[in-house]
Structures are given as structure tokens and as C-alpha cells.
Amino acid sequence: MPLTSIDPQRLLSRIQLAISQNPQLTELLQDITKYIEESRETLSLQPNGTQPASKKRKLDNVENDTLEGVDSIDDISFSIPQRKKLKLSLGGKSIRGINPSSDATEFGRPWAGVAHCVCLPVPEKAQPQYNVCIFPSEGWGDEQILFTVPGGNVKSSAIHSQVSFDNDESYKDVMIRMINKRLKRKVLEPDQKEFVSQVVQAHRKGEKAAHVKAFRGSKDGYLFFLSHGIVWGFKKPLEFFPFDAITSVSYTSVLQRTFNLNIAIDVNGKSKEIEFSMIDQADFAGIDAYVKRHQLQDASMAEQRRAKKINVNGTKGAEDEEDGEGELQKAAREVEEMDDEDEEQDENFDPGSEGESEGSGSSSEEEEDGDQANGEDGRDLVDEELGSEREDVSE
């Protein structure tokens, strides 16, 4: 039965019935649904098996790549835009994912539309693997490419290339040389001079990690601090923050064990801030040194963040005085503000009707005292008592 003839409502009823009778199928059906959603752009769902028009448009720039000078590697695992094993094809004009069965192009991108290409070690793997991330240039769409190459030595039967290589070379090194031959900007890799994590890797304890683990919202992932920018991976969408797009880097929610990193970027003249949370405190010093070394604007001293930037690296003291307002200074400032408010209230004190009646009573009492001093008939009793003595004093 053709896929397009299935009634959606009837299919939904069947799925619900299957789940009610077999609850253990719930997770399987959810995985199938997720897979179809991620692959919907490349599945042939139109009548007569034709490809969607959107896919045709995306492949217009890569289908005509000449076979001459094309390098390829078999059995490469792609994650974005499809989860599938394909042949990686590196032509003179484009990079493509080729279906090994039909030799059809599943997706691709012209080299002219590639802004950045980075090769990063895959975290938390017992055996070394490397993810290659292709980021599109502005104006070339937003489709990214992510594929994985093994960390072992190349198999000559799997690589079809005019690039010479030795059998003791790794897949990664050969693949990078293939891409660098075609790409204007060279492939970026982590450099221990830029950043090294202080967190011990559970899977390979003898190696230093090039990443830090973090969360963006509810999604977990990894941050890589490279020589030309910061990368977030490896779940869709990937992010690359080049230095020229970063307007500020700041820290919030600095606790004893974790802190948050906020990266503000400029997108078409509009500022956008992205927060990465739950980063291990052990990596704060390394990240901060990276930010200062590349002269990225540190916005931690901004007024709205001062209250949160406390106890960095678990210590207080000279760093608090240099980098921001500590808790003691903050408390003192708040007390002074309260005192200023009290003084201002005293100066502007306006007694009510009760105060006015008390004030008028005091005034009448002073007038009575004055009348007694002058006598009931208006005579100056003081002048009469002192007489000439008062005159001498006056002189």
C-alpha cells in the first residue's frame, strides 16, 4: 500500500490501540516518530517517488559536481541532517553525502557556502572518535552537516582519494587534508594552548579533555573553546560563535560547584544572549583566562549581574575588590542607602493634625510665659528689678 494513501486518523487510532494493549511499545513508537520527523526533509513522501521540491532546490548547487578530482570515504556516520551511514564525497565544488546503494546525493553544500568547518573529539567515548561540523555561510541557508570519523588508522579500501597517505595515518588527519585542499578557511581543531579542561574524563582518564559539559535549557551538550570562536554541540542546532560576533561573555549563578556562562552575540544588529548552565567550577579559571586572552568583553561587572557574581572559585578577597562588589560591600551599601532614606524622610517630615495641635499648644505656653515676664498690666518686671544694673551690663 502506498504510504500516501494511509488515513492519518485511522493510523492514530491503531497506534493508540496498540499502546493500550502493549504499553511496552510506547518507547519504540516514540523513537520511530522522532526518526521520521528528523528525516522528513529527505524521505520521498510525494507521489511517484519524486523528491520534495525543497530537497531539489538544496541539491541544485551540488548535483553537477564533476567526478574528476573527487575524494571519498566509505561508511561515514552522519547525524545532521540525516542519521544514516553514507559515502562522504569531497568534490571540487561541494561536500556531499552519497547513498552507497543508489549512488544518489542525499544532501550537500557548496564549498562557497561553508563558513566554518571544525573537527572536535567526541566526548565520553572509550575509543577516540571525531565529529566534523560544517557551518553554512550567511545567505546559504541554515542546514548544517555533522558526521563522525573513527580515530583509528585508515583502511585503504575505504578511502578513494588522489591524496597520498600512509597506512599509519588516522582517518581524521587524512580527511582534514582532503577538506583543507578545497576550503578557503582551514579546519579548526582544539588546541591545548587555548583551553584544557581540569575535569578528569571517566572514559579516558589519561587524556585531557578539550570540552566542558553544560546545559542549554534542558538540552545537555558540550562547549569547545577554539582559536577563532566557541562551539556548542552536538545536538541540533549546532552553534558556532566567532569572536567578531560575540559582544560580551559573562558569568552568573556562580556557586561552589557550578556556574553559568552567558554569551551575548550580535545577530543582524540585534543583541541575543545565550545561557549555558551547570558548568563545573573546576573549569572557571581556564574559561576566564580564555576570555581575557582573546579580549572578549567581560560583562560580569554589569550592574544587573553584580549581585550574582560572588564566591568565584570559592574565595573572597582581592579578586572581589578588583572584579566586582563583594557581599560585605553590597551589605554596607544597602545599609547606607537605608540611612539616606531615613534622613530624607526626617527632612521631609510633615506632622499631621495631631502634630499641629501639639505645636500650637507649645506656642501658647511660650506666649503665657512672656506675658508673666511683662506683668499682667504690661510692665517690664525685669527692668524694674535690675534697674541701673541692667543699664551697666548693656553698656
CA distance 373 to 128: 106
Burial class (CB in 10 A: 0-12, 13-18, 19+), 109: buried
Q: How far apart are the two ends of the chain, measured CA to CA in Å?
A: 129
CA distance 38 to 33: 9
Helix (H, G, I), strand (E, B) or coil at 201: coil
- DSSP characters for 310-349? -SGGG--SHHHHHHS--HHHHHHHHHHHHHHHHHHHHHT-
pLDDT for 264 equals: 93
pLDDT for 192 equals: 95
pLDDT for 56 equals: 47
Q: What is the largest CA-CA distance in the chain?
A: 134
pLDDT for 288 equals: 94
* Structure-block grid coordinates of residue 196: 584544557
Look up cell 578530482; give the residue: 69
Which residues, at least 6 apart from 182, have a Cβ–Cβ distance to it below 8 Å?
90, 92, 111
Closest by CA to 114, choosing from 89, 133, 91, is 133
Q: Give this prediction's pTM.
A: 0.63
pLDDT along the chain (395 residues), means of 10: 59 79 80 66 41 49 62 94 94 92 92 95 92 92 93 85 81 92 92 95 86 95 96 94 91 95 88 95 96 77 38 39 43 52 53 45 46 49 49 46
Look up cell 528525516; give the residue: 39
pLDDT for 260 equals: 97
pLDDT for 155 equals: 82
Look up cell 597520498; give the residue: 164
pLDDT for 30 equals: 74
Closest by CA to 282, choosing from 312, 304, 306, is 312
pLDDT for 38 equals: 56
H helices present in 212-326, as ranges: 284-293, 318-323
